[in-house]
Amino acid sequence: MFNPFRSITTRMTLLLVALVAMSILVMAGLGYTTVDRVTEESAKNRIDHAARTAAALVKASNPHRFTIRYDNEERPLAFQLVEPTASSTLELQPGDIELLRVIASVNEGSANFFRFRPETHDFERFVSTLLDANGAPAPNRAFGPSHPAHAALLSGAVHVGQVPMMGRLRLAYFVPVLADETRVVGAMSVDIGWVDDLIAPRNALREAIGLWAGVLLLVVASLGALIQNIELQPLRAIARFSHRFVSGEPERDVPGRGRGDEIGDVAKGLARVIALQSDLERHAFSDPLTGLGNRTRHFADVAALLAEGGSGALLMLDLDRFKETNDAFGQGAGDELLMRARDIILAELEDGDRLARLGGDDFMVLTRRVSEAQALANRLMFRLAEPIQLPQGEVHSGCCIGIVLLPEHGSSAEEAHRKVELALREAKNRVRGACVVYHEALNETVQSRMKLARLLRQALENDEIILHVQPQIDLRNGKLHGFEALARWTHPTLGPISPGEFIPVAEANGLIPALGQRVLDQACAIARQWRDANFQFGRLSINVSPIELGQPNYVTQLREALARHNIDGSLLCLEVTESVFLKQDEADVTTLFRALRELGLRLSLDDFGTGYSSLEYLNRLPLDELKVDRAFVQAVNADPRKRNLLAGIVALGKGLGLEIVAEGAETEPELAVLRELECVVVQGFLIGRPVLPLMAPVEGERLHGLYRLAPATSRKQLTKPRVA
């Protein structure tokens, strides 16, 4: 719809007219106010003069009939009869008409006598010089309480102001006529003419002001619009050029650049913007390394396809071993790998397919060939799995791919991208070189994890996480070596939830510090209770996540927990995994471990052999214990190579002065091999399952009676029902 206020000419003209109108109004207002004030003062002086004149003439012509009362300024306040009687009334007297005519002539108005009628409370005019429209004497009429002067006259006071007469208004001065001090018998009025005649000059001035103001504003508006229209022609030309440029028309010279005024400055600025436009577009929509479309370009392409109602497939690729390439050869090699991957992917695409890099080693392919999406993914995985020759060396990369179909799996670019990430995540969780097409179960899995995270937060707030303890036995004497504290969660409605489910959820949702604090506090409380009960439990082991160790105040938390429960640090053993070496600098880890040792805590390397396994760290870090993962213990009796590997681990640990604890012993043959290899501290279901801390003393007595004789045959003879 046309909007005239979008025009600069219109707005500036209106502004100019408004300013001129304001100036006219101010000046005209001042003139009009002055005329109005002068008119009022003139009318006031005239009516005052008329009253004084009337009083003087009455006094001079009828001294035997009236006496005059005056105020301080000699204005008449009342006429009083000289010889009043109880029944005094005003009647027409010889000479009254001539007197009124003289008064009216002198004042250029009219004069009237009224008599008061007590029975009706009206003032009746009985003599007047007022003429009607035809020039004949006006009929005598009476006025009552509705008349503006009635109340004042009835109280014996004068009235000055506008009063109605013959359907119009006259400016009159009413003087009461009194028989004595208070009794009103009539009134006399003089006026100076019709009100509209008195203010006629003022009204004429107002009309003249309005007329000439309108003419002046019309002239100003016309001239202003014409001048501005001429001056703004170059600016309109620049605006038309800008619209054509934005619409994609071929570039032309910006009009107005030769001008030396502000419009010329605008034209020159626009020319510079156009010169930079291609650079801005490249930076806004392309990846600086590969030259492909970036995240913004990719989302815009997907949104455009969905907006036009088209169909397509979205493939998200994540390169394998990209971080390893960066770590091994440097960032330059990683960048070169991305460039080679870009060329390989582009070689498999056809016209109309779009390739973008979202960042890192993630590529996005948008294709309209929905039926060929799976085949395209297979070709890409095959090509990227081939060795890639870099200047720094040969790299074996490969990729994982997630696929979504459009619009089936997403009605918006954001939804499609979220779902393709879920598909890619599932592919990466399987094996290297996997491809997964999105299905609704993936979303359900995410929702389930979110629900579990919410429930876990509530569980931490409601103290639903409790500790069970699993014994560790010294096979040489059957004594307890210690217990491992294991977090257990039983939800009020869902029942027991495995640590394998809620620990990853806690790691993914930042709940590990809170969970670790809860476990530490319970473990300290349990150790205090056992110590006070004189239960010789050895020490209580706690699993500590690398996330916890990365907290800047972790040592302080430990110190405060030990002090809060009044226990010595030697009652606790912290089990850390080898991944801590990957997440933190070696110097930081060493400093942290020494601070923990100063608190009296024992340090155990958990899951040895399944992760980084740096022998240098084992040699330099202040560790007390090496805990062999159950993967090396399971079926060790049936596999000579596994037996030899376990023997080497045990020998390595002993050579470094570390105490060896084997976990996962579940069968008698496995236990026998551990005895033979002199791995005397054992933990596993064969020894004892996790129990509540309250049952730990009973479990300790059972195990001591079961294992105080070393030979396995003796153990079989002493077997009792196990507390589980």
Indicate whether 707 belongs to any domain: yes
Percentage above 70 pLDDT, the chain: 90
Whether residues 428 and 556 share a domain: the answer is: no
In this predicted model, what pLDDT tens digit does every residue of 358-396 receive, in sequence order? 888 899 999 999 889 999 999 999 999 898 888 888 888
Confidence (pLDDT) at 466: 93
In this predicted model, what pLDDT tens digit does every residue of 205-242 receive, in sequence order? 777 777 887 788 788 778 877 777 777 777 777 777 77
Answer with the one of 185, 202, 219 that is the final residue of a domain: 202
Whether residues 496 and 546 share a domain: the answer is: yes
The CATH number of whichever domain residue 64 belongs to comes to: 3.30.450.20
Higher pLDDT, 132 or 656: 656
DSSP codes joined into one string, 105-158: HHHTSEEEEEEEETTTTEEEEEEE--B-TTSSBPPP-EE-TTSTTHHHHHTT--
Mean pLDDT of the chain, nearest integer: 84
Confidence (pLDDT) at 65: 86
Whether residues 679 and 621 share a domain: the answer is: yes
Indicate whether 265 belongs to any domain: no
| Helix, strand, coil shares, percent, the chain, to 5 | 50, 20, 30
Indicate whether 277 belongs to any domain: no
Indicate whether 267 belongs to any domain: no
DSSP character at residue 249: P
Indicate whether 250 belongs to any domain: no
| H or E element in which residue 170 lies | strand 168-178
Higher pLDDT, 277 or 53: 53
Q: Quick check: 437 pLDDT over 60?
A: yes
Confidence (pLDDT) at 233: 74
In this predicted model, what pLDDT tens digit does every residue of 655-696 receive, in sequence order? 888 999 999 999 999 999 999 999 989 999 999 999 999 999
Q: Quick check: 174 pLDDT over 90?
A: yes
Answer with the one of 438, 467, 498 that is the final residue of a domain: 438
Confidence (pLDDT) at 355: 94
What token pair was written down for 246? 């934005």
The per-residue b/e assignment along 29-43, b for 16 or more CB within 10 angstroms, e otherwise, is eeeeeebeeebeeeb
Q: Which domain covers residue 93, as residue numbers?
A: 39-131+138-202
Q: Quick check: 718 pLDDT over 60?
A: no
Question: pLDDT-based confidence at 262, cuts 50/70/90?
Answer: confident
Q: Quick check: 350 pLDDT over 50?
A: yes
Whether residues 431 and 456 share a domain: the answer is: no
Whether residues 432 and 560 share a domain: the answer is: no
Question: Measured at the alpha carbon of residue 513, what is the angle toward residues 509 and 516, in degrees to the nearest 5?
Answer: 120
- 171, 191 in Cβ contact below 8 A? yes
The CATH number of whichever domain residue 413 belongs to comes to: 3.30.70.270
Look at residues 193, 243, 157, 150 and name the one whose alpha carbon lies nearest to residue 39: 193
In this predicted model, what pLDDT tens digit does every residue of 269-285 receive, in sequence order? 777 776 676 666 666 78
Whether residues 309 and 182 share a domain: the answer is: no
Indicate whether 227 belongs to any domain: no
Average pLDDT over residues 86-106: 83
- Output the pTM of the full model: 0.53
Answer with the one of 374, 406, 438 that is the final residue of a domain: 438
Confidence (pLDDT) at 248: 58
When mean pLDDT is compared across 58-62, 294-298, 704-708, the lowest value belongs to 704-708
Indicate whether 468 belongs to any domain: yes
Whether residues 325 and 411 share a domain: the answer is: yes
The CATH number of whichever domain residue 560 belongs to comes to: 3.20.20.450
Look at residues 209, 231, 226 and name the one whose alpha carbon lies nearest to residue 21: 209
Whether residues 373 and 485 share a domain: the answer is: no
Determine the residue type at 710: A
Question: pLDDT-based confidence at 3, cuts 50/70/90?
Answer: low
Whether residues 466 and 404 share a domain: the answer is: no
Whether residues 142 and 290 share a domain: the answer is: no
Indicate whether 254 belongs to any domain: no
480 contact partners, CB below 8 Å, separation of at least 6:
471, 472, 473, 474, 536, 537, 538, 700, 703, 704
CB atoms within 10 A of CB 489: 21
- 488, 518 in Cβ contact below 8 A? no
Most confident of the following: 85-99, 327-341, 478-492, 581-595: 478-492
Confidence (pLDDT) at 723: 36
What token pair was written down for 662? 């084997």
Q: Quick check: 323 pLDDT over 90?
A: no
Number of domains in the chain: 3
Whether residues 110 and 148 share a domain: the answer is: yes
Q: For residue 664, is it left (φ>0), alpha (ψ between -120 and 50) or beta?
A: left
- 311, 368 in Cβ contact below 8 A? yes
Average pLDDT over residues 99-108: 87
Q: Quick check: 535 pLDDT over 60?
A: yes
In this predicted model, what pLDDT tens digit does every residue of 463-505 receive, in sequence order? 889 999 999 999 888 889 999 999 999 988 888 999 988 888 8
Q: Quick check: 722 pLDDT over 60?
A: no
C-alpha 97: how far from its chain's center? Answer: 90
Whether residues 542 and 682 share a domain: the answer is: yes
Q: Quick check: 60 pLDDT over 80?
A: yes
- Rounded to whole angstroms, the Cα distance separating 701 from 56 reads 139
At what angle are helices 499-508 and 440-461 packed, to 10 degrees? 90
